[in-house]
Amino acid sequence: MSGPGKLAPKLCDDFLNFDPNKTLPTARLLVDHSPPVGEGQYLSYKIGSCRHEYTTKHTQSILPPLDSRPDATTTYKLSVVCKKCRLHAVVVTDYARSTDPCPNSGNPQHHFRNLPDEGGSSATQIAYAWQCSASQCQAQLQITYRTPRLTDGDRDLLTNTERLKRRFDAVVEHNPSRDGLRQATPMEALSRLRKYIHDSLNPTHNRRAFPADNKRFMETFGVHGKECLPLLQRLGFKYDEADTGFEWSLPNPEVINNRLTVDVNDERELLEDVEFELAALMFRIAIDTGAMNPSASEGWSDAKHDLERTLAAQGYPRYAPLRRVAPPNDLLPYFASLGALPDFADTLIEFAFDRQLDCDPERQSYYFECLQEIAKNRASEQLQTRVAMLHSQDMVSRRDVSAAFRHLDIPLRLPHEKPITDEYILDCFQARQANSSAAVAEGNRDALYKIGISRHSQPLISASKQSVETYEEALAWLGQSANKDMPDDMLLAIAATKQESASDKEIARKAISTIARERKSEPLNNWLLTGSSSGFEMTVEEAMQHITGTATTNLSAIDATILGIQIDSARSDRPGEHTEKAIRTIQKAMAHSPATWPVGLVSHGNTCYLNSLLQYYFGMKAYRDIILNYDQYKLDLHDATVKEHRVGGTQISTTEIKSGQRFARDLRELFQRMIKTRDSSVMPSKDLVCRAFLAPERYSELASDAIDDDVMPNGAEEHADTKISDVTAPIAETPDPDSASKEERRASVASSATLQADDDAPMLDHGDRPPTPPASPTLKALPGKESSHSAPPLPPRRRATLQEMEKAEDKALKEAEEEAKKQQDVTEVHDSATQRLRAGMKALGVDDKTEEQVDALRVLYTVAVTDAVLRTDGTREKPSVSMHPGIQLNVPMEDTDIYSALDEVFDLQPSEREQGQEAFKSIRTLPPIVQVCIPRIAYENGQTSKFTKTVKLEDELYLDRYLENSDIFASREACWTLRRRLRNMRRERRVLRDADVAPDLDVPGVMSEAAAHLESLSGIDAEVVDIGLGSGLEIGPDLASDMKSAAERHSQRVVVLTKEIDSLHSELKSKCETAYRNLKTSKYRLAAVFFHRGGHGGGHYWLDIHDFTNNIWRRYNDETVQELPDNRIHEILEAKTYDHGTPTYVVYVEDSQKEELVQPVCRDPEPAPEPVQWENESARPAPFNTVDPKMITEGGRASWDSPRSVAETAW
Ligand SMILES: [Zn+2]
Ligand SMILES: [Zn+2]
């Protein structure tokens, strides 16, 4: 139980002023408490209330004896009645629970708290209950009100002179001869009844009956008293026929032994009450009429003293000055709130305050305000001392709290009843604190402190005291919604903003230190040590939060493709060290052991398929080997400067040969880095990017090209014995693990080498080739070959500066990226790259027909395709043969599968060579690697569009059915007709159904929408004509309905077509299965798939490779290489959604060689550099801070001081 109470004197005062008949159920002066000042209406007695004049009904009361203290057996009872309103009240105090009743040493007064559940009311009674809050007392108090016994009708009956006159007339009429009759006055009527009652209450009164025709009786109550019979009988009078005639007898109420347990309907107490009420009415009549009151001498003693005694409230210490000056009205509510009276002495005021605080701590700040106000008004030293002491004990008054809220600009109430939380207050405080001067900041903290105290909120108090001793305090102090889930780096970011203010700097460090201790956080400790967050290692969780917005450490569940996009957008949206760190952290976490996992390639930007293609070349062992051992395959320009054979159908120039070889060297350099790096990814050189996309004529612009390409004449012999195992042999160009800075290093090496060469190195004569330095760093590593470079020196060339070269290189890179954007798909980039590589290679032979160079690369992937014209008479011509780098499918216009798509290529179709004839293609020879291009860009309806239809791939692909083989020709032929029909129907359905104008609608849908629109237009049309604005749009009257019916026709046709297509498709399928069931010799396995997502000329690219040896698929997504789990293989085999991307190039390998052909893991990471061990201290290089004194004198102090001090801290 909690809540405020009232000291006994206050309750007495309220009792005397309380009129239960004139009060609202919610504002009962006696029972309720006024709301705090300013928060509602002050409770006072209601206008119209009776200013009671209670007198004690002594016979009904058990009053405390003057000289005894109550104990557990004690109950006191005070019964009173009001002279004015005749209200009866019973006040009972029960000490049954008391061990030491008030007043005692600690409790000078009872402090009564209302017990709302223990009252009750009926038609004539209402009761309230209280209990003293002192634990040793717990006195129970009950006050019961009872309505008057005499009704208004009774009163009228007895005092209405008209009625008294009628009764008199009736008595005279009854016995006209009777002498001395006169009309009774109201006073006489009351007095006579009161006398009868008084007599009847006296047990010793003997004469208890009188004749019914008593003269005075009849004057008052009528003939034989019959007119007042109901009242008299209600009071217990009896009317009987006796020997002497009719008579009335008085009530004879029993004597009551126990006044505490007396029944509410007890006859004696009824009569006692009526006796008091009659006396009260007589006082009233005396006042109203001036009539003599025969009972005036009995008086009407005031019950107040008895009341005070019953509540033990008598004689409390009073505030002396009050006799001279009344307290101001606006102070009264504060007394009332303390349950006190304005005349309480300071001691009792303090006691009242203490009791209220004890019983209603929630309103502590308000009670303190009450005390403050009273102390101020009284200028009392005692109370003011108390107030000051409480201040020092961290008590704040409500007024101070309101001021604090105002100070911090926090509203006392939020709209929509939204609660004001600690967090809200803290945020307001932090926001203010951020822009405050030191003095204001101090004021803010004081305000926050007061609010914290009033709310009993430790976080607010701690924040105001700048205490950061606990985890919670530290977070609260940081503010800005810092919480336990916030990652370290965000906390550091907040701490950094705090650091800007000198006063907060130290506390910020303390706060971080507290948090670091709690979290055992390395990054936070690091920050404390180094003062910067740049040195700390981000956790994977934090990094993921930063990049993806989701804090997770379960990286295996993450789609590398999506992560790649998120990384891209993080780089563009939030560029900076933090983002880069997060990316590195994630990549590190995703990286596998360097020895067993392929390395990723950092993207250079918009170079489209290049990274995927480089990964493809690397992952296909056959390709990789050729590049790593390219010197074995390259054409020796000493032997032949001109190519005899064609490459890719064209004649090759010397420049192209050289640039091809240069490209191969860059590729080899990259591959070597991919093998040897300890990192999870490397970045291809800018030059490589340029060489992949720029025309060979422009290679000379590249910085690295300045080093040389002169080694080529001899290079072949020099490196003839280089095997894959040798590629890690030390060469000057050994890749720096830090691939990003590699290029700068390289460029700088290149230029210095060039400059040096110009001065003192012998030069080779290379005719038209640009002058070059004597020996590439590559060759320096291989001793004994220098002599072959002897040649007359060239005239000195212009010295190109490093800046110029870098500028030219950046320009070239930009242009390369521009070129890259023009590439339609991976095929073009792939073709151009293999073309370059092959241009630099020596021919192993020549293709008779095409004069095409036969080389080691070409044999890996070249498909020989025959094309035979099938004449209308059924005869076949001798087929022509052509060589292709793979099989190119048609742009899939509908969802399809790899066999259907291949069928389209090899089916009978209009001949490309002979007008009007039909022809079909077959495969004559299959290479180990079958590259299938799925073009996605088609020119349709006047524009270039990308088609992302699904092409379902087969993991195992049998190509026998397309082979040039007379045994299966009949089967193929049988399918052609069916397929042609199927194709035609699909084409028709496509035209009827697929509308490009509205993505949600098919063609019939578009047409009916249009028809509806036309109809609405014709309505508008009529209106337009109506208001005279013109002649309208002139829409044909039938157009809309024509369109409508056409839409319906199309719609029906599509349904029919779909049905036919489905049945035809299954017929074909079963036919094929039967025909090709046994044709499973040329088995190929899906090895690699290139994906694209996004629009034409942009988007995102990645590559999936099947590692047959380890039997896993990996996704190569720029710098990330991740396993694609089994449950996601369907994303490769049947890419359907935008997220899956669109396969644009798929690679199958011959089944029996698959593990030899595809070997994506090729790693030989260099060991980590050993820390240098100095044999003795003197061998250690001189530390930075031993500054050469000569330097100081020469350079001047100012310029040397700063580096020296930096060096000192570093050591
Ligand atoms: Zn009254
Ligand atoms: Zn008490």
Residue 354's pLDDT is: 95
Percent of the chain exceeding pLDDT 90 equals 27
Give me the pLDDT at residue 835, please.
87
Give CA–CA dist 591/587, Å, rounded.
6
What distance in angstroms lies between residue 122's CA and the mean position of ligand 1's atoms? Answer: 19
Distance 231 CA to ligand 1 centre (A): 24
- For residue 62, how many other CB atoms are within 10 A of its CB? 18
Q: Per-residue pLDDT averaged across 810-817, rounded? A: 75
Q: How far is the CA of 133 from the centre of ligand 2 (A)?
A: 7
Measure the CA angle with vertex 194, ends 193 and 198; round to 5°.
120
What's the CA-to-centroid distance between 83 and ligand 1, angstroms? Answer: 6
CA 284 / ligand 1 centre spacing (Å)? 12
| pLDDT of 1211 higher than 50 | no
Average pLDDT for the chain: 79
Between 189-198, 263-272, 495-504, 716-725, the lowest mean confidence (pLDDT) is in: 716-725
Q: Kindly report, residue by residue over 923-964, the tens digit of the pLDDT.
A: 998 999 999 999 888 777 667 777 888 999 999 999 888 888
Higher-scoring residue by pLDDT: 573, 340: 340
Q: Which residue has the higher pLDDT, 719 or 346?
A: 346
Query: Is pLDDT larger for residue 332 or for residue 652?
Result: 332
pLDDT in tens, 129-182: 999 999 999 999 999 999 999 999 999 999 999 999 999 999 999 888 888 889
Quote the ligand 2 centre to 385 CA distance (angstroms). Answer: 27
For residue 88, which ligand has an atom nearest its CA?
1
**Nearest residue to 1007 (alpha-carbon basis) of 1038, 1035, 1039, 1044:** 1044
pLDDT greater than 90 at residue 92: yes
> What is the pLDDT, as a whole number, of residue 302?
93
Phi, psi of 1100, deg, nearest 5: -125, 145
Q: Report the b/e string of 963-981 with b at 16+ CB within 10 A.
A: bbeeebeeebeebbeebee
- Is 1009 in a helix, a strand, or coil? helix
Distance from the alpha carbon of residue 111 to the mean position of ligand 2, in angstroms: 6
Q: Calculate mean pLDDT across residues 718-739.
A: 39
Average pLDDT of span 896-901: 89
How far does residue 132's CA lie from ligand 2's centre (Å)? 4
Confidence at residue 646, expressed as pLDDT on a 0 to 100 scale: 80
What does the pLDDT read at residue 1027? 59
* CA of 20, nearest ligand number: 1
Identify which ligand lies nearest to the alpha carbon of 277.
1
| Amino acid at site 889 | L
Cα(295) to ligand 1 centroid in Å equals 19
Ligand that lies nearest to the alpha carbon of residue 148, given by its number in the listed order: 1
48 alpha carbon – ligand 1 mean position (Å):
11
pLDDT at 554: 66
The per-residue pLDDT for 703 is 53
C-alpha 87 – ligand 1 centre gap (Å): 6
Asked which of 66-70, 780-784, 1044-1048 is least confident by mean pLDDT, the reply is: 780-784
- Category of 1145 on φ-ψ map: left (φ > 0), alpha (ψ -120 to 50) or beta: beta
Residue 1169's pLDDT band (cuts 50, 70, 90): low
158 CA distance to ligand 1 middle (Å): 21
Is the pLDDT at 1187 greater than 70, yes or no? no
Per residue in 433-444, pLDDT tens? 766 666 677 788
Q: Which ligand has the nearest atom to the CA of 104?
A: 2
**C-alpha 316 – ligand 2 centre gap (Å):** 14
pLDDT at residue 778 tops 50: no
Distance 341 CA to ligand 2 centre (A): 17
How close is the Cα of 28 to the center of ligand 2, in Å? Answer: 22
Task: Quote the pLDDT of residue 910.
Answer: 81
Give the pLDDT of residue 521: 76
Instruction: Output the CA 107–ligand 2 centroid distance in Å.
Output: 7
Distance 60 CA to ligand 2 centre (A): 24
Does a cis peptide bond (omega within 30 degrees of 0) precede residue 103?
yes
Three-state secondary structure of 245-271: EEEEECCCCCCCCCCCCCCCCCHHHHH
The model's confidence at residue 755, banded by pLDDT at 50, 70 and 90, is: very low
pLDDT band at 709; cut points 50, 70, 90: very low
Instruction: Indicate which ligand has the atom closest to the C-alpha of 284.
Output: 1
**260 CA from centroid of ligand 2 (Å):** 21
CA of 19 to the centre of ligand 1 (A): 7
Query: If you average pLDDT over residues 359-367, what whole number do you get?
Result: 89
pLDDT confidence of residue 544: 82
Instruction: Give the percent of the chain with pLDDT over 70.
Output: 79
Residue of higher predicted confidence among 594 and 997: 594
Distance (Å) of CA 6 to CA 326, 361, 437, 1150: 21, 15, 47, 100
Between 184 and 327, name the one with better pLDDT. 184
- Give the number of the ligand closest to the Cα of residue 22: 1
Q: 52 CA to middle of ligand 1, Å?
A: 4
What is the model's pLDDT at position 220?
93
CA R_g for the chain = 55
Closest ligand (CA of 80): 1
